Amino acid sequence: MTDTPTNALPILRFIPFRRRDIVTMCEQEGGLSEEQAEQFRQANALIEDFFQRDFHAIKQRLKDAYAPLDPDADTRCTAVAAQNPDELSQTLASVLNRGNYEKVTEEGLNAAFESASLFNIRLFVDLNDFDDVLLYTRGVSERTETLSGPLGLFSRTVTFRNFDRVVLYIRFKSDIDENSTLGGCRPGATMLKLFKDVPEADLEMLFPNTRIGMRFRDKLLIGIPALISGGVVLTTKVGATLLLLGSLFGFWLGLKNEPVTLDRNAVLALAAGLGALGGYLWKQFSNFRNRKLRFTQALTRNLYFKLLDNNAGVIHRILDDAEESECKESTLAYYFLLRAGEPLSAEALDETIESWFQERWQCTLDFEVDDALNKLERLGLAEKHGEGAWIAKASSANSR
């Protein structure tokens, strides 16, 4: 049996190649004269230098905004370092957008929560435990896995969406309940997590207050054998004890006139029956607890291999991702404008780049041509020529 998603995969902005590889790919593509090739190298150096300086300034702002909220900080916070979580979340959202991360909407998150988990467990998350939650993903693919059925009697193949990268931003409430699953977290702190290879249906497992529940099938697997064995225990080992207890209670309540004699054999039978009943109940409780423990271990093992970074480390990673993305987009737009040798419209440039990736590298993406051209214009590397057409310019020392 195969379960297949109903919606097609979206075409994303992310360019799945490294910045240095993009430069090499352009150089190997050719189509430039020696003078143009030198012009391309100078422009690329200017692009890298500009965004390196730009993101260095952003990094300092993010570090300052996150310092008083970092749960892992080993430095002291002064009164001057006031907490400003809104500045942090807004700057973080801007950087993630520049790094081609896509924000998961509230509707998308609720849909993921309602989907069946691929790990054969039920997960519950209460978002009311947090003051603010942001979830961003980058890169999506369709994967297929074979899941085993109950008792391994049969299996089914499922096709699901998988996110290459997931960034989770959580700000804890300042009044965390001591009995909450978040009791070990510092009130008001902000947590950042970066994960890889996360199925869309299992986004719940990334949250720190995830609770594991038993599915209906799991309850049946425990409940039906428990009822059957319980009936056997009641009829074979506890039947005499129940009759004796019924007689005692009936006499004490005045429902029977004949007294019940508790001799040595009766007391031993009563103790043996109660012991058998207690042992049976403890065994069923242990079965339930062990099954839930196996689910917890499966969740822990899965997260162990998917976690890439925590807190301040996430900031450095996404800053590098955003810098790479800005450089790649600018480099591609400049190269194809330069190679054209004549003014190109934004639409023509966009189609040229997307077709190049599709035909040359078997990669489908949505190139952000307007954003790329605006960056080149800001750097003085491109200008509008006529109505809606763009042309490449040589880099200059005065470019900003």
pLDDT digits (tens, 9 = 90+) for 35-65: 999 999 999 999 999 999 999 999 999 998 8
Q: What percent of the chain shows pLDDT beyond 90?
A: 40
Q: What percent of the chain shows pLDDT beyond 70?
A: 65
* pLDDT value, residue 270: 58
* pLDDT value, residue 304: 79
3-state secondary structure of 67: helix
pLDDT in tens, 254-306: 555 665 555 566 556 556 666 666 666 666 666 666 666 666 666 677 777 88
* pLDDT value, residue 338: 95
For the chain, domain boundaries: 10-56+315-392, 101-213, 216-294
Distance CA 19, CA 24 (A): 9
Encoding tokens for residue 337?
């404008």
Encoding tokens for residue 329?
């987009």
Structure-token match 């998917």, residue found? 306
Q: What are phi and psi of 389, to 5 degrees?
A: -105, 150
Could you tell me the pLDDT band of residue 8, with boundaries at 50, 70 and 90?
Answer: confident
Distance CA 172, CA 170 (A): 6
- The helix/strand count (H/E) of the chain reads as 10, 11
Structure-token match 């979580």, residue found? 85
Over residues 339-364, mean pLDDT: 94
* pLDDT value, residue 110: 80
pLDDT in tens, 365-393: 999 999 999 999 999 999 988 778 999 99
For 386, other C-beta atoms within 10 Å of its C-beta total 9
β pairing state of 155-172 and 2-3:
parallel
